Amino acid sequence: MPDVLVAISPLKFQQVLVNLLLNAKRAMQCDGGKLSINGRVSGGLVHIEVTDTGLGIPEAIRERLFDPFVTHRDRCLDQGEPKRTGLGLCICRDLVRAAGGSIGVESVVDTGATFHIEFPQADDLFEKI
């Protein structure tokens, strides 16, 4: 994909990606897995997908996943790791929305998850927020 400017500051964009990558890493720590990041530009929007082959997200949690303090603990993830706050995806959602974008997730338990992010494409550096 060619270089593309999006309507979000580099620091905020980095925070969104780091949160998603850390969640994917945790979801795959039991059995390993694959992580991929893909992007494309279409209709003035930058589409980014972060996909892992981890534990997946149960449907009951998926509906509230971007709400504050929602977290999913699994038998494998409980071993020796401190409890999480459940704020990472809420922060991601707020940063993405503040930039005029959207974020969502598709997941199948025991198969993995894909987070879909869309940002407006910025015409030049001065439009970035």
3-class DSSP assignment, residue 65: coil
Q: Could you tell me the pTM of the whole model? A: 0.83
Tokens of 8: 């979000």
The matching CATH number, chosen from 3.30.565.10, 3.30.750.210, 3.30.70.1150, 3.20.20.70, for 10-53+80-124 is 3.30.565.10
Are 113 and 103 in contact, with CB atoms under 8 Å apart?
no
pLDDT tens per residue, range 21-77: 998 988 887 777 899 999 999 998 999 999 999 888 888 888 888 888 767 655 455
> So where are the chain's domains?
10-53+80-124
End-to-end CA distance of the chain: 22
pLDDT tens per residue, range 82-122: 556 678 899 999 999 999 999 999 999 889 999 999 999 98
Beta bridge partners of 104: 116
